[in-house]
A = this chain, B = another copy of it.
């Protein structure tokens, strides 16, 4: 089987590592408009060959893992170039705009909209992790719009990587993911910004900061080039989640200002139930 990975960064590279490991007979080619990444992916052995759209017609499986603004530009072009039984999957963190962009494409049935809930705050081929997808959820959208045989092919591939499959419509996906992923990134970026603005001397921060701070601002290391278009495409849902978050912070602030420590205790105590929720989230083993 010929696999073409378009965008050979953290996600594309992690798919490549798992394919190499679990399907050693598959031929892996990589396409990336970042020539340095393509070269790096080759030297890391993530792909067998560097390729281009000219050779897309040879691919049986196409994995598109590029920022979501590029995704909506490239996906129609990619679907133009593939053969009749090729399955094209994406890994974008938004789903509504992506599904819309291919809705009327003549090869819509060759596309399966996917969001593997997996990743780290790092980018590029060197950030790829073997086994990244094992035990993780892959959210598939509008599965009914994909040719049945190609659905089967994609799902069997995901199962081979150890992924759990969940089906959602793109509107619901974007709404929920705003709360459990996009909002976390904003909270982290703005926390980092607040501390950086306050503490002019970096040394002061890391002398006084511990693993708690590290944990809450970790996502502020994420790529602005990847995240700006996500916030743009999911603007309305992100704004809703941000508004509710700010409201809760204001509520906490008011309770503190009014010395309502009983209220503060109770709200923290009820939020402690997050313990049980976090137990259900499959985490990434960062060892590569």
Which residues of A does B touch, CB under 8 Å?
117-121, 136-137, 139, 164, 166, 176-177, 179-181, 183-199, 202-222, 224-225, 227-229, 231-232, 235, 238-239, 241-246, 248-250, 252-253, 256-257, 259, 261, 264-278, 280-284
**20 sample A-B contacts, Cβ–Cβ < 8 Å, listed by A number:** A179-B199, A180-B195, A183-B191, A187-B187, A190-B249, A193-B267, A205-B277, A209-B277, A210-B284, A211-B284, A212-B219, A218-B278, A222-B268, A225-B265, A228-B264, A228-B265, A231-B264, A239-B256, A239-B257, A242-B252
Q: Min CB distance, A202 to chain B, in Å? A: 5
Q: Min CB distance, A33 to chain B, in Å? A: 18
Q: Which residue of B lies closest to A177 (CB)?
A: B208
Known: A193-B267, A211-B283, A249-B249. 7 other contacts (CB 8 A): A179-B195, A181-B212, A215-B216, A217-B278, A231-B256, A235-B256, A239-B256
> Which B residues touch A118, using CB under 8 A?
210
Q: Min CB distance, A176 to chain B, in Å? A: 5
A219-B119 Cα distance, complex, nearest whole Å: 21
Q: Which of B179, B209, B265 meets A194, CB within 8 Å?
A: B179
By the criterion CB–CB under 8 Å, are A228 and B261 in contact? yes
Return the 9 tightest CB-CB contacts between A and B, nearest first. A206-B280, A224-B268, A180-B209, A184-B216, A192-B274, A190-B248, A117-B210, A228-B265, A192-B271
By the criterion CB–CB under 8 Å, are A227 and B268 in contact? yes
A206-B221 Cα distance, complex, nearest whole Å: 23
How many monomers of this protein are in the complex? Answer: 2
A188-B272 Cα distance, complex, nearest whole Å: 11
Instruction: Select the residue from A121, A195, A216 with max chain B CB neighbours within 10 A.
Output: A216
Interface SS majority for chain A? helix
Known: A191-B184, A239-B253. A271 touches B179 (CB 8 A): no
Q: Min CB distance, A194 to chain B, in Å? A: 5
Known: A179-B199, A198-B241, A256-B231. A119 touches B224 (CB 8 A): no
By the criterion CB–CB under 8 Å, are A184 and B217 in contact? yes
Q: Which of B177, B252, B264, B281 meets A206, CB within 8 Å?
A: B281
By the criterion CB–CB under 8 Å, are B212 and A184 in contact? yes
